[in-house]
Amino acid sequence: MNIGDAAEQAKLPRKTIRYYEEIGLINPLRSENGYRDYSPIDVHRLRFLQRSRSLGFTIEECRLLLSLYDDKHRASADVKAIAEAKVHEIDQKIKELTELKATLSALAHSCHGDRRPDCPIINDLAGGPCA
Amino acid sequence: MNIGDAAEQAKLPRKTIRYYEEIGLINPLRSENGYRDYSPIDVHRLRFLQRSRSLGFTIEECRLLLSLYDDKHRASADVKAIAEAKVHEIDQKIKELTELKATLSALAHSCHGDRRPDCPIINDLAGGPCA
DNA sequence: CATAAAGGTTCCAGCAACCGGAAGGTCAAG
DNA sequence: CTTGACCTTCCGGTTGCTGGAACCTTTATG
């Protein structure tokens, strides 16, 4: 199967697939004409990558997950630990963003938003809390 | 004032300050010896940048905010619009992350996490929703 | 058979927003 | 006089791709 079809099945751009090959996450065979030739197993692997990435795992985490995927004797606990760490990370990020939003929307709210040049937002940015 | 002191006052790494200069967000005078020389106004500007960045504005948004800051006749509405757009963006990001977290923590929860190799997380990644 | 469109290939460059380090100049203190 | 803390520039790397140029191959059509 050529890269176009593989891309469609894995729901990944061609460019991304070539990039994944470049960094050693996958390596398909080559046809006589030099075209990449993806087996169903390759496509499966690409799909694994697509899903892992969309769940927020970094490339390096994906690499690790793939190695666990390949290792038929790994313990499920290993995988679970990675997933839980990721959940924690995401949670932290959510907290940060929530605070950010509160600060910013308080600022926006305090601004009358008319034609006058006086603006609490700019004033805060200019001389805010760390002044 | 040399870059070290400016950095401390603005709470920005030296490297970052030089970078901001490189991309034209600031340009301090130079002393005889070639050292950058920051005026209080420069430091103020750096602080503005530090605060804006920490509130999640991109560099280009900061550039815009600075130009509004410099323009004594701009309407506060212009600034408010930018802030509100940012709040909306942040909100979207929070929503995305929340969904991500739900998916991932459901997965982690479904995994018994012991020594056995069978793992629902890996299984999902391998053949998940887009199989 | 010619040709044009739609695939494929490689490599090079660039995005955001910096960070780290090397090689070197400068300045104050002991 | 030397040590060490500053400062300078420049180069490369980070993450995860994406776009484009220049080129080859395959397929469809006139």
Q: Provide the angle, in degrees to the nearest 10, between the axes of the packed helices A40-54 and B120-127.
A: 110
> For B4-8, B20-24, B92-96, which range has the lowest pLDDT when averaged over its residues?
B92-96
In order, the DSSP letters of A67-84 are HHHH-TT--HHHHHHHHH
- Coil, helix or strand for B72? coil
User: For residues A12 and A27, what is the distance between their CA atoms, to the nearest angstrom?
Assistant: 16
pLDDT 10s digits, B67-85: 888 887 787 888 889 889 9
Contact assessment for residue A36 and residue A28, using Cβ atoms and an 8 Å cutoff: yes
Length of chain B: 131
Q: Is strand C less than 7 A from the beta carbon of B19?
A: yes
pLDDT at B130: 46
**Model confidence at B129: pLDDT above 70:** no
| DSSP bridge pairs for A30 | A36
Q: Is strand C less than 7 A from the beta carbon of A4?
A: yes
Residues of chain B contacting A107 with CB distance shorter than 8 Å: 83
Q: Is strand D less than 7 A from the beta carbon of A58?
A: yes
Q: Output the distance from A20 CA to D23 C1' rounded to whole Å.
A: 23
**Model confidence at B120: pLDDT above 50:** yes
In order, the DSSP letters of A41-71 are HHHHHHHHHHHHHHTT--HHHHHHHHHHHH-
User: For residues B90 and A101, what is the distance between their CA atoms, to the nearest angstrom?
Assistant: 6
**Model confidence at B55: pLDDT above 70:** yes
- Which nucleotides on strand D sit less than 7 A from a protein beta carbon? 6-9, 15-19, 25-26
- Hits for CB < 7 Å against strand D across B residues 13-32: 14, 18
pLDDT 10s digits, A26-48: 999 999 999 999 999 999 999 99
Contact assessment for residue B11 and residue B46, using Cβ atoms and an 8 Å cutoff: no
Q: Is strand D less than 7 A from the beta carbon of A33?
A: yes
User: How many residue pairs from chains A and B have C-beta atoms closer than 8 A?
Assistant: 170
Any residues with CB less than 8 A from the CB of B9 and at least 6 apart, and which? B1, B43, B46, B47
- Which of A73, A76, A86 has its CB closest to that of B113? A76
Which among A57, A80, A111 is the top mutation candidate for probing chain B, defined by the most B β-carbons within 10 Å of its own β-carbon?
A80
Residues of chain A with pLDDT under 70: 128-131
Say how many C-beta atoms besides its own lie within 10 A of residue A128's C-beta.
Answer: 18
**Model confidence at B94: pLDDT above 60:** yes
User: For residues B52 and B65, what is the distance between their CA atoms, to the nearest angstrom?
Assistant: 9
E strand segments, B36-100: 36-37
Which among B70, B119, B123, B124 is the top mutation candidate for probing chain A, defined by the most A β-carbons within 10 Å of its own β-carbon?
B119
Q: Output the distance from B23 CA to C26 C1' rounded to whole Å.
A: 26
Band of residue B33 on the pLDDT scale cut at 50, 70, 90: very high
Report which secondary-structure segment, H or E, holds B131.
Answer: none
User: For residues A90 and A98, what is the distance between their CA atoms, to the nearest angstrom?
Assistant: 12
pLDDT at B73: 78
